[in-house]
Chain A
Amino acid sequence: MQHDPEQISTPPDGRPMSEQPAWRQDFPIDTPQDNYVARRDFTKFLVVTSGAFVAGQLYVVAKSQIARDASALAPQRIASIADLPVGGALTFNYPEPHDTCILLRPDENTLLAYSQKCTHLSCAVVPDMKRNCLNCPCHEGVFDMATGHPLAGPPRRPLPLVHVERRGDELWATGVEVRTV
């Protein structure tokens, strides 16, 4: 029988390692062989992780394609101007029924609308008219009311801006602008 010089221990049946079952080759007794197999298998695990990242990238590509196709939004009536007093706020759904937005009227001539979902973990933001900001109660995120940009707390991205148009006495939402900075 040919002896493998790299093999320190001998399997119980005396046959070379190449003829041993897979489990014995994957869990060798000899330390140098164990080191080698452990590094090789860790490399294999990293390649599987690499495949998972590619799957994640393809998911983002698919979501981007869907979002791009749906970027042209139909205008939608929100409310009458009489429904919104100065210093008041009301919620509405745009563009889809489950997308909650908030319309604000801090003064007579200013109308602001944002998505109500916090850009941190999607909790609903609440307006604070006295401080001119929008607060997220979940993790104490604070957004500037005039711009929708984050001022404090964990959120890093501004709130999506909803474009509002005044048509006579009616208020209409005409589009959503998602922003990175």
Chain B
Amino acid sequence: MSTEPHPKFFPREQRTTIVYGILCTVLILVILQLWLLEATMNAYLGGDYAAAWPAAVVSILCLLLNIGLLRYIYSIERVNP
């Protein structure tokens, strides 16, 4: 039986650093989404409907990326004892 640690094992100190990094990334993406929503709403109220779909697609991509990053946090927790 192998005694080597799991390749994805991180001590809590490292996991905290990883969470900090992911938190910063998610925060930037959420601010981007806020800006997108504000710009799209302004365009919609001004009668410009063309921006709505592309902005929604970008916002959905940001959400998927955020969900992926959050899942990664939980995945590294599960392999830790």
Contact = CB atoms under 8 A, between A and B. Distances in A.
Contact of B62 (A44, A50, A58): A50
Interface in A1-47: 4, 6, 18, 32-33, 35-36, 39-40, 42-44, 46-47
B23 A64 contact: no
Chain A interface secondary structure, helix, strand, loop or mixed? Answer: helix
A6 to B, nearest CB: 5
Interface residues of B, number: 41
- Best-surrounded residue of A6, A33, A46, A58 (most CB of chain B within 10 A): A46
Contact of B66 (A46, A65, A119): A46
B70 interface: yes
Chain B interface secondary structure, helix, strand, loop or mixed? Answer: helix
Contact of B49 (A4, A32, A64): A64
Interface in B4-53: 11-13, 15-16, 19-20, 22-23, 26-27, 29-30, 33-34, 36-37, 40-49, 52-53
A123 B59 CA distance: 32
B45 A157 contact: yes
Given A51-B63, A54-B56, A58-B56, A46 B30 contact: yes
A177 interface: yes
A166 interface: no
Interface in A49-79: 49-51, 53-54, 56-58, 60-61, 63-65, 67-68
A56 B59 CA distance: 10
5 contacts: A43-B26, A54-B59, A56-B41, A57-B37, A57-B52
- The 6 closest A-B CB pairs, nearest first, are A180-B46, A178-B47, A64-B49, A53-B33, A64-B52, A57-B56
